[in-house]
Amino acid sequence: MPYQLFHEHFPDLAERETRIIELSDSHPFTGVPPGEYGLLEAFCNEKDCECRRVMWMVSSVREKRTVAVVAWGWGSASFYKNWFGQGDPAIVQEIVQEMRGPILNMPSSQSSYAPAILDMFTKFILTDKTYIARVKRHYTQFRNKVEPDSRFMA
């Protein structure tokens, strides 16, 4: 699945609504250097794809690079089983687990502290219901922009 940054279609909105995390010297996420991190959202731009998934490119302001790529899907396990189709149950289960995440996107370059960033997502980012609702709204806006004849809902 090809993923494209949200800000490529909605630069003004992305500038206002991109989550920035500022970690002090005493933050609780062992291994993540203090500093500012931008959570840049990317969504699948493939025709007829309704994967209900986001990839966050976690960008370090200090390092001026992406230090982790975290993927997460908000569909239920049954949604992803149906979406993926039939096959070897063990393989289908593994794919469902990957699609739902949160998981580090293995094909992407990851920093040495990417696992600690994943921990931060699990404990802090994905528990913020207001932010997650925003991500789902961005997904819907993005899907409707890249496929205007369809009406996607998060």
| Residue 153, in any domain of the structure | no
**Residue span of the structural domain in which 120 resides:** 3-146
Regions of the chain where pLDDT drops below 70:
1, 150-154
Mean pLDDT taken over the chain: 91
What six digits make up the tokens of 125?
């980012």
Side-chain-facing half-sphere of 152: CA atoms under 13 Å:
25
- Is 127 part of a structural domain of the chain? yes
Residue 98 domain flag = yes
User: Whole-angstrom Cα distance, residue 27 to residue 45?
Assistant: 35
Task: Tell me how far apart the alpha carbons of residues 97 and 80 are, in angstroms, rounded to a whole number.
Answer: 9
Residue 76 falls inside a structural domain: yes
What's the structural domain count of the chain? 1
154 domain residue, yes or no: no
Is residue 135 domain-resident? yes
pLDDT in tens, 62-106: 999 999 999 999 999 888 888 877 777 888 888 888 888 899 998
Distance separating alpha carbons of residues 52 and 35, to the nearest angstrom = 30
Q: Whole-prediction pTM value?
A: 0.89
